[in-house]
């Protein structure tokens, strides 16, 4: 019988969707007899209990405090809960919030730690977390011998958000005393992407260096528009100023988080580009080089000239 904890996140009183992904990750290793509790710090935690009442959640631990995220308070909450409940696992979404409390809490409490975890499993009852290493070039399995508690930050957009209805009990917990060292200055909205939404798009047509020249880019914007796709691109295209940086897919660009169909034309598939799109279920690659490594992750491959294929596609839209 183990206790699993998930630290949920909220922004201005709205539940962060990644919290449901962290719940899904923890739920995946929940065994019969285990309990899964979700910790929520908010000005009005009760308002978010409904959103957290998903299948597999047994308890919501509600802590009333400011909606402004406080790493020191979160760390104090974790410290108190580890002392009181000795959880086997603490999971939270990987992101700026987690960076500011998870490593510090893990060191302080002597927990096992893995960040940016992409997969989680039990092997002979012990947790094994998978994360990428060497700039995403390899996948690494980590185990945590001798650690009573393991703290994991879960990569977003990998786990299907937890769904299904549940009826967790709600436990109110008083905010523990914390030595608050940071102040919240206010919210700055993300840079305006001019209406370009790579993370939100279900259908992306991406172009790479195979496009050759700026004067050729327009026809792919037209094709994408006609097909109802968002045009994405590889890094060199954005670096050249041929398309806005908001269209760049990859490690230093955007994650095609909701994409269901990704057509890559004239893209070679560097590990960095792949970072933003390899999870997409339907990848179609068009490349003149039959050896282009993009074909190894594509469901459908066309060895051919992207301009000819684009022209053929234009005839259908």
Partner 1 sequence: MEPETAASALIDRLVKAGDPYAALGAYAHAGAMARSELEPVILATPRLRLIVASAPYAPPDLLDRLSRGASAPLALRLVKNPATPTTALGRLLRGGPDDRLRRYIAAHPQADAAILSRLAKDGSVEVRRTVSGNAHAPAAVIARLAAEDDAQIARNAAAAPQANAPTLRHLWNADDVWVRAEVAAHPNCPPDILAEAEAATDPLIRRKRAANPAIAEAALLNLLADPDERVRAAAVRNPAVSGDCLDEAGDPSARVRRLFARRSRLSSSLMERLTTDPDVWVRRWIARNPDLPRALLGQLAADPETEVRRSVARNPACPPDLLVALATDPQPWVRAGVALREDAPDTAIARLTGDEDRDVLGALGRNPRTPAAQLDVIARHPDKDVRRSVAFNRAAPPGVLGHLAEDPYPLNRAILAGHRGLALPLVERLLDDPEPQVRFAAATRLARALLTHDQEWSS
Ligand X SMILES: Cc1cc2nc3c(=O)[nH]c(=O)nc-3n(C[C@H](O)[C@H](O)[C@H](O)COP(=O)(O)OP(=O)(O)OC[C@H]3O[C@@H](n4cnc5c(N)ncnc54)[C@H](O)[C@@H]3O)c2cc1C
Q: Which does 305 bind (CB under 5 to 8 A by kind): partner 1, ligand X, none?
A: ligand X
Q: Which does 250 bind (CB under 5 to 8 A by kind): partner 1, ligand X, none?
A: ligand X
Residue with tokens 């400011």, as numbered in its chain: 66
Alpha helices in the chain (DSSP H): 18-27, 46-52, 71-85, 96-109, 214-227, 235-239, 271-274, 306-314
Query: Is residue 214 near partner 1 by the rule CB under 8 A?
Result: yes
Residue 160 or 308: the one with the smaller Cβ distance to ligand X is 308
Tell which positions 141-200 bind partner 1, by CB under 8 A: 191-192, 194
Q: Which does 222 bind (CB under 5 to 8 A by kind): ligand X, partner 1, none?
A: partner 1
Query: Is residue 301 near ligand X by the rule CB under 6 A?
Result: no
| Cα distance between residue 118 and residue 159, in whole Å | 8
Query: Is residue 96 near partner 1 by the rule CB under 8 A?
Result: no
Interface residue with ligand X among 200, 228, 236, 244 (CB under 6 A) is: 236
Q: What is the rounded radius of gyration, in angstroms, for the C-alpha atoms of the chain? A: 22
Q: Which does 236 bind (CB under 5 to 8 A by kind): partner 1, ligand X, none?
A: ligand X
Q: What is the DSSP letter of 168?
A: -
Interface residue with partner 1 among 72, 222, 257, 279 (CB under 8 A) is: 222
Residue 65 or 237: the one with the smaller Cβ distance to ligand X is 237
Q: Which does 194 bind (CB under 5 to 8 A by kind): partner 1, ligand X, none?
A: partner 1
The Cβ of residue 112 has, within 10 Å, a number of other Cβ atoms equal to 19
Question: In what order do the strands lie in the sheet containing 112-117?
Answer: 112-117, 150-154, 89-93, 3-7, 35-42, 59-64, 169-173
SS3 of residue 78 by DSSP:
helix
In the complex, minimum distance from the CB of residue 254 to ligand X, in angstroms, rounded to a whole number:
8
- Sign of the Cα pseudo-torsion (206, 195, 219, 211, in order): negative
Q: What does the block give as tokens for 193? A: 């992407």
Nearest alpha carbon to residue 114 among 71, 154, 75, 82: 154
In the complex, minimum distance from the CB of residue 309 to ligand X, in angstroms, rounded to a whole number:
8
Nearest alpha carbon to residue 172 among 3, 41, 36, 8: 41
First to last CA, the chain: 57
HEC profile of 113-132: EEEEECEEEEECCEEEEEEE
Q: Which does 165 bind (CB under 5 to 8 A by kind): ligand X, partner 1, none?
A: none
Instruction: Candidates 80-88, 101-109, 112-120, 282-290: pick the segment binding ligand X (CB under 6 A).
Output: 282-290
Residue 283 or 306: the one with the smaller Cβ distance to ligand X is 306
Query: Is residue 286 near ligand X by the rule CB under 6 A?
Result: yes
Query: Is residue 270 near ligand X by the rule CB under 6 A?
Result: yes
Q: What does the block give as tokens for 56? A: 């597999």
Q: What is the DSSP letter of 294?
A: G
Instruction: Candidates 61-69, 76-84, 159-167, 208-216: pick the segment binding ligand X (CB under 6 A).
Output: 208-216
Q: Which does 279 bind (CB under 5 to 8 A by kind): ligand X, partner 1, none?
A: none
Contacting residues toward partner 1, per CB under 8 A:
191-192, 194, 214-215, 218, 221-222, 225, 238-241, 244-245, 252, 289-291, 311, 314-315
Contacting residues toward ligand X, per CB under 6 A:
208-210, 234-236, 248-253, 266-268, 270, 272-273, 286-289, 292, 305-307
């Amino acid at each position: 019988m183990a206790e699993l904890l998930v630290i949920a996140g909220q922004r201005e009183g709205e539940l962060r969707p990644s919290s449901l992904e962290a719940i899904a990750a923890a739920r995946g290793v929940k065994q019969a007899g285990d309990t899964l509790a979700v910790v929520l710090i908010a000005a009005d935690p009760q308002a978010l209990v409904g959103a957290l009442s998903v299948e597999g959640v047994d308890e919501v631990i509600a802590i009333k405090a400011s909606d402004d995220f406080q790493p020191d308070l979160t760390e104090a909450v974790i410290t108190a809960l580890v002392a009181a409940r000795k959880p086997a696992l603490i999971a939270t979404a990987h992101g700026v919030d987690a960076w500011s409390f998870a490593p510090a809490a893990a060191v302080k409490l002597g927990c096992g730690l893995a960040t940016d975890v992409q997969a989680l499993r039990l092997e002979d009852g012990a947790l094994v977390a998978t994360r990428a290493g060497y700039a995403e070039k390899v996948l690494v399995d980590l185990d945590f011998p001798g650690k009573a508690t393991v703290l994991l930050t879960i990569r977003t957009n990998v786990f299907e958000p937890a769904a299904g209805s549940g009826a967790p009990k709600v436990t109110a917990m008083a905010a523990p005393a914390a030595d608050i060292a940071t102040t919240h200055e206010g919210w700055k909205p993300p840079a305006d992407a001019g209406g370009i939404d790579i993370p939100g798009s279900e259908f992306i047509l991406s172009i790479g260096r195979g496009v050759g020249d700026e004067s050729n880019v327009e026809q792919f914007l037209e094709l994408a528009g006609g097909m109802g796709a968002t045009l994405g691109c590889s890094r060199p295209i954005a670096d050249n100023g041929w398309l806005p940086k908001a269209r760049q897919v990859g490690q230093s660009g955007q994650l095609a988080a909701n994409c269901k169909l990704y057509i890559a034309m004239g893209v070679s598939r560097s590990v960095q580009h792949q970072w933003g799109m390899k999870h997409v279920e339907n990848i179609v690659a068009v490349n003149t080089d039959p050896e282009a490594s993009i074909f190894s992750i594509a469901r459908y491959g066309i060895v051919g000239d992207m301009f000819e294929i684009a022209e053929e596609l234009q005839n259908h839209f």
